[in-house]
Amino acid sequence: MTTHTTRTFPALALAAALIAAPLAASAASGPHAGGMHAHQQAGHSGWRHGDRWLHGLDLSQDQRDQIFKIRHDQEQAVYDQKKALRAAAGALRESGQADTFDEAKARQAADALGQAQGQLALLRTQAMAKIRAVLTPEQRQKLAQRHARKDGMHSQAPRPAAKS
């Protein structure tokens, strides 16, 4: 029994280390490690996933600072809505896995999920409008041209054939 335990422990420790290493690395180098300003000062773009639409607009440092403030001012509200979204999704999932289905409870969870999704969409739209207001007319024109190209590509994309 000692040999089995002696052999198993190092294997478990190695497995735990292999699982924990990427998590620790991503936490240390994640988007909030050092804050967005630290990335900007270090010469990195500091783009968050949702800010890719601003890439290539040659923003001034003042514009970057204003955009950072817009995102920063909204951060708590976004966090709260994402937390509400996770809770509602979990409640909805649990209601579907319950031994007896409670329609009212499931409907309440679904409504809460929809509400949280709607609030997140509204927060994103508000931020986008505030950020667009920071852009110069030339930068907004560049965005409009990008969107027109994307819309053109999507409308020309082949559609899947209907099944007979």
Q: What is the pLDDT of residue 32?
A: 39
Q: State pLDDT tens for residues 13-36.
A: 444 444 443 433 333 334 433 344
pLDDT grade, residue 155 (50/70/90)? low
118 within domain boundaries: yes
3-state helix/strand/coil string of 57-93:
CCCCHHHHHHHHHHHHHHHHHHHHHHHHHHHHHHHHH
- Residue 115 sits in which domain range? 83-136
102 within domain boundaries: yes
What is the Cβ-side half-sphere exposure of residue 119, based on CA atoms within 13 angstroms? 17
Q: What is the pLDDT of residue 75?
A: 94
Which position has the higher pLDDT, 155 or 147?
Answer: 147
pLDDT grade, residue 163 (50/70/90)? low
88 within domain boundaries: yes
Percent of the chain with pLDDT over 70: 62
Rg of the chain (C-alpha set): 23
* Domain total in the chain: 1
Residue for token digits 């909030």?
A: 32
pLDDT(1) > 90: no
34 within domain boundaries: no
58 within domain boundaries: no
50 within domain boundaries: no
Q: Are 126 and 81 in contact (CB under 8 A)?
A: no
Q: What is the pLDDT of residue 20?
A: 41
Token pair belonging to 30: 């994640």
Could you please report the per-residue DSSP string of 90-117? HHHHHHHHSSS--HHHHHHHHHHHHHHH
154 within domain boundaries: no
pLDDT(126) > 70: yes
143 within domain boundaries: no
Q: What is the mean pLDDT of residues 106-120?
A: 94
Q: Which of 127, 31, 34 is nearest to 77 (CA)?
A: 127
Average pLDDT, the chain: 74
How far, in Å, are 69, 115, 125, 153 from residue 145 at the CA level?
26, 33, 19, 12
Q: Which of 118, 83, 110 is nearest to 94 (CA)?
A: 110
